[in-house]
Structure 1
Amino acid sequence: MGFSLPHLLVVLAIAILVFGTKRLKNIGEDLGGAIKGFRKAIKESEANDNASLPTDKDNAPH
């Protein structure tokens, strides 16, 4: 028992009636910006982690 297209349309219609289209647009923009920022932070974190990992050259005996 899952959500079908008619169920989703009813939920969308109720959301539009409750919040209005302008507020839903703002919520969507804010959510999109948050996801974009989260992805950017993950990429930066991975880049920093990869840069700080020692390489085989660093571990070679002198």
Structure 2
Amino acid sequence: MPNIGPLELVILLVILLVIFGPKRLPGLGKQLGGGLKDFKEAVTAKHDRDDEDDDPPALPPGERTAPAPSSTSTTSSSSVGKSSGLDG
């Protein structure tokens, strides 16, 4: 990545002054700064929200429940063949 020194910054400032003019340059800087601020706040808010969603809500020790038993249903191959219209 190239290093940007003071000479490059001066050249960039002169180019910006020529393109936008001295009246519009402060407003553009203010808009750019506000946009960066909003972007940082949005990224921080999303990061904080993601951290909160990772942790399940804690239950008091007396209210802990056992996991519900899982119910599985099996279907025989003969009923699957009949329901799909396949006769073998």
- Which interval holds the TM-score relative to the shorter structure? 0.5 to 0.7
Asked if 1:19 is matched to 2:20, the reply is yes
Matching residue's letter, 1:31: L
* Distance verdict in 2 for CA 1:40–1:2, change over 3 Å: closer
Structure 1 unaligned regions, length at least 5:
none
**Same amino acid, percent of matched pairs:** 27
TM-score, with length taken from structure 1: 0.67
**Aligned length in residues:** 60
Asked if 1:49 is matched to 2:50, the reply is yes
Matching residue's letter, 1:39: K
Structure 1 moving runs of 4+ over 6 Å: none
Structure 2 unaligned regions, length at least 5:
66-88
Asked if 1:38 is matched to 2:46, the reply is no
Superposed CA offset, 1:11-62 (max 9, x none):
322321331122111111111000000000011101110110125x57xx74
TM-score, with length taken from structure 2: 0.51
